[in-house]
Structures are given as C-alpha cells and as structure tokens.
Amino acid sequence: MKNKKKSSPSIKIVLIVVAVILIVVLVLLWASAPCCEDITKDGKPIAKVCGEAEFIASYELSNNEITVINNGNVPIYAFEARIYSEGRIDTQELIPKNIETGEEINLVQGTSGNISIDIGDATKIKLTPILIGNSGEREVKYTCHSHPGVELEI
C-alpha cells in the first residue's frame, strides 16, 4: 500500500482565499476598463468642455419654474436636477424650454429658458449641465458630474 499524504485544511482555505482575491481583482480590472468610445465635443474630450459650461439659474416659487441663462460658450442640452428633500435626494433630467413658445431648446451662448419643476417639499436643488457629444457616429448625452453646478435654495 502506498502512503498518501493529505493536505491540511488550512492550506485549502488559503488556496480558496487566494483564488477569490484573484477573481475579484480580475473583475475589477475588467469593470474599470473603458467600455465604449471616448465622447468628444468639437474635437475635444467632452469632460474638458464641461469646464467651459457656465450658466446662472433662479427659481420662481410663484410658478414653479427655474429660469436658466447660458453665459458660457458651450450649448447646454439639458440639466440634471438633484432635488434635496427631507431624508432623500431625487434626480431628474430637465430640458429647458423657450420662454415665449414653450418649445424644448438647447441653450446656446446668451440664451435663456424656463424649466418647469414640481419641487414638493424640497429644500435645495442642484443643477448640473448635460451636453451633447459624439461617440463615433452617434450623438450622446453627457452629464458633467465634474462641473460644480448651481445650487438653488428653496
């Protein structure tokens, strides 16, 4: 008869832990890899163009509207609104409308628009610009999360 040695349980546990760590590292590397083409605007990375987006905003309580004015040199397609209420934060995409006609518009340099919003019991709203860029042949929306945005106290 052959004398077979058995591996100790602690070695098996160490091997399992190492295998799990390797799998986690591989999944994290895969997830952090760029998944799609870079988004550009006017030939520049859109994240850099976000820094050129400038706007002012004011809230009118009587008609639940936000008036926004683009005083930068980048057209703004829409805004991500973070609505802060007691104990929660809601997020909405808001597209500005022409003040006179009510049609949806892109805010180009020097133009203004209105955004209708139901604030409920909100105490604060933060607006972040959304731009339109290009990814290959497609136009895509890009939210400028690195932009400081504009906060409106209600």
The pLDDT value given to residue 141: 96
The pLDDT value given to residue 6: 67
Each residue of 9-25: b (16+ CB within 10 Å) or e? eeeeeeeeeeeeeeeee
Q: What is the distance between the alpha carbons of residues 7 and 15, in angstroms, rounded to a whole number?
A: 11
61 contact partners, CB below 8 Å, separation of at least 6: 154
The pLDDT tens digits for 78-118 are 999 999 999 899 999 999 999 999 999 999 999 999 999 88
Which parts of the chain have pLDDT scores under 70? 1-7, 32-37
Q: What is the distance between the alpha carbons of residues 18 and 13, in angstroms, rounded to a whole number?
A: 9
The pLDDT value given to residue 8: 78
The pLDDT value given to residue 62: 79
Q: What is the distance between the alpha carbons of residues 112 and 99, in angstroms, rounded to a whole number?
A: 8
* pTM, full prediction: 0.74
The pLDDT value given to residue 92: 94
Largest CA-CA distance found in the chain, in angstroms, rounded = 96
Radius of gyration of the chain (CA): 25
CB 152 within 8 Å of CB 123: no
Q: Class of the 40-153 domain? A: mainly beta
* Per-domain residue ranges of the chain: 6-35, 40-153
